Amino acid sequence: MNSERRVNCAIPPYILEDLLESDDPEVRKAALNTLLTTARLRGARTVLAAFPGAATPGNGRRTVFDCRNGTDFAFAVLARSEDGPPSSDGAANRAFDALGKTREFFQRVFARNSIDGQGMRLDGYVHYDEKYNNAFWDGREMCFGDGDGIIFSDLTGSISVIAHELAHGVTEHTAGLVYRDQSGALNESISDVFGTLVEQWTLNQTADQADWLIGREVFTPMVQMDALRSLKAPGHAWERDPQPDHMSNYVHTSSDHGGVHSNSGIPNKAFYLTAAAIGGPAWEAPGMIWYESLKASNSETRFQEFADTTYQKAGDLYEVGGLQQQAVLGAWQQVGITVTGVPAGIAKEQGRLVDESSDAGQQDSVAAVARRVQALAGQVQELGNDVAMLKGRVTSAR
């Protein structure tokens, strides 16, 4: 295992940067505060890594601790354990339940014994820091802030976010996708896929009943954001959502580890399209294909190899040339990735399907131009943000 532990935060940096532009001074202040505390957390990760004990086998037993608004785990007190009664604290119970649902999902759907496949115990820490606007998984435990009540609500309220964070642990213990550029965006996407699947499984929703949103519950009504991300409609979870849903709009940036929270929109959309084409519960065939492909991947896997693997797995697990494999092939095609190693007969069949919908193809290209224009507008906005931030720094330095 890596000696350097990476902290996975639930709230991507671009959302906080966007909120620095809010018309509401309270929201701007809260966003700045969160950016500062997140930076402080990065500095503190060696302290977190030094915390003893949690990553030991324990049949996925859950324990929730109350940080009592501090940041030192040593002073946290027990709030709820596997054998104990429910807590009088709602946040502790919500965290406990979400850890349990995620554990149960991996056990029942994929026969996986907790995050590491070996019964790793699940420790949650609630009321981390004061009004802390984030939740994170540090490789051993899950921490939750209360939110400031201005931008963010209590972060124990979103099962898709909690499952997303824990899924980073599953990825760490399987493919170990490097958290940078395409492998990093794939790492993010895998977490979104399992994040929404845990929620859909909990609510017993089919692919067409689900809303495919990550973090619907995290924002207060004071901010104009519906959710953090949408797998069904990347780029549309909120007004200036920067996620592309096609390779032609891949975001080239050095920030956010090479746009890991943006470009995850591309494989996210491919998963959604696969699930929509297959129909029924998305955790069944689509989930199984993705899970087996994750296990067959390595730390350097990029979109193309992952797409090829999902195609291969769909054939291995179900039927070569069958509905599942066709769905996977078509889904990647629609996000601009052509699966390699497809036998000629199947590729031809797929080509025919695309030809028949040539009108839709034309509409797609108009949409692609529109998206490109939107992306350019986004870049201009980003420049504006940078200038505003720099100005802010000059002002605060005075």
Residues that bind Zn ion (CB under 5 A): 8, 191
Longest dimension (CA), the chain: 69
Query: Which pair of structure tokens corresponds to residue 346?
Result: 């199947």
Q: How far is the CB of 155 from Zn ion (least distance, A)?
A: 13
Indicate if 284 belongs to the active site.
no
Indicate if 165 belongs to the active site.
yes
Query: Which pair of structure tokens corresponds to residue 251?
Result: 């975001």
Instruction: Encode 96-124: b = buried (16+ Cβ within 10 Å), e = exposed.
Output: bbbbebbbebbeebbebbbbbeebbbbbb
Q: What are phi and psi of 136, to 5 degrees?
A: -150, 160
Q: How far is the CB of 157 from Zn ion (least distance, A)?
A: 17
Q: How far is the CB of 193 from Zn ion (least distance, A)?
A: 11
Question: Which of 172, 261, 284, 382 does the annotation list as catalytic?
Answer: 261
258 versus 281: smaller Cβ distance to Zn ion:
258
Query: Which pair of structure tokens corresponds to residue 6?
Result: 């990476």
CA distances from 287 to 105, 170, 268, 300 (A): 11, 14, 12, 21
199 versus 284: smaller Cβ distance to Zn ion:
199
Going by the DSSP 8-state scheme, the letter that residue 217 receives in this structure is T
Q: How far is the CB of 134 from Zn ion (least distance, A)?
A: 11
Distance CA 267, CA 285 (A): 17
Query: Which pair of structure tokens corresponds to residue 218?
Result: 């995290």
Q: How far is the CB of 36 from Zn ion (least distance, A)?
A: 20
Question: Which of 141, 165, 188, 284 does the annotation list as catalytic?
Answer: 165
8 versus 33: smaller Cβ distance to Zn ion:
8
Print the SS3 string covering 53-78.
CCCCECCCCEEEEECCCCCCHHHCEE
Q: How far is the CB of 165 from Zn ion (least distance, A)?
A: 7
Q: Specify the residue for token string 């906080």.
A: 16
35 versus 167: smaller Cβ distance to Zn ion:
167
> Would you give the distance in Å from CA 325 to the centre of its chain?
25
187 versus 310: smaller Cβ distance to Zn ion:
187
Distance CA 233, CA 272 (A): 9
CA angle 388, 390, 391 (to 5 degrees): 65
8 versus 63: smaller Cβ distance to Zn ion:
8
8 versus 325: smaller Cβ distance to Zn ion:
8
Query: Which pair of structure tokens corresponds to residue 350?
Result: 């797929």
CA distances from 21 to 37, 256, 273, 388 (A): 19, 19, 34, 8
Distance CA 104, CA 113 (A): 9
Q: How far is the CB of 301 from Zn ion (least distance, A)?
A: 17
163 versus 314: smaller Cβ distance to Zn ion:
163
Q: How far is the CB of 191 from Zn ion (least distance, A)?
A: 5
Q: Where are the alpha helices (DSSP H) in the chain?
A: 13-19, 25-43, 45-49, 90-110, 159-173, 181-203, 256-263, 265-278, 285-295, 303-317, 323-334, 344-356, 358-397
- Residues identified as active-site: 165, 261
